[in-house]
Structure 1
Amino acid sequence: MRKTEVYQVRLDSQEKKQAFAVFKQLGITPAQAVRLFFKQVVLTKSIPFAIENQSINMEQLLKLRKMKSSTTQPNHNGTENELDDDAFFEELNALLGESDHL
């Protein structure tokens, strides 16, 4: 049998209720849904669905993606590392947070 691990995720309570209702209608458990998602990520080596939101400025998102792939910054040894993942996700969250208020 394969080794398994536990992974916890914080969710918005309303989104959780809505998603769990969909899973129930589909006849699957939330755990099965998460495992299906992870399997598809591995198989496709990508997010297995289109991520679309009319209020997100796609130009800003593409600029952020480009920044993530090309920006480097010095680390403690004076060599350069890719932009810190925390900084990238902070920037992404700020961008997504802006879309909530439009």
Structure 2
Amino acid sequence: MRVSFYEQDPRAPEQIRGFTYAERQGRIRPHPELQIRLNEQNQLLSSHADLATLLLDEPVPVGFRAAVLAKSPVVPGETLKRVGFGYDDTSGALDGRRLV
């Protein structure tokens, strides 16, 4: 598994938004109770324990900040950090992209 790290530079003007990029190799350790049920068309029927730990071969690159877990609900217009993989509501299928 290859993990890509992106971090936007909030100080850069919006029209020339800058970012830092790095990649690391690693392994995915799915939750032991992971269950994903699909129908014949590969559409999601249900999922349980749909989360995993990423075990990197090398440390996260220097300079990347850890994402802090939220302690309050999201509000409209708030900037979010996301990690994701899998089911896409728009296409109705598992798309295979992982976002960090």
TM-score bucket (shorter structure): under 0.3
Larger radius of gyration: 1
Length-normalised TM-score, structure 2: 0.21
Length-normalised TM-score, structure 1: 0.21
Structure ranking higher in helix proportion: 1
Where relative contact order (Cα < 8 A, 6+ residues apart) is larger, the structure is 2
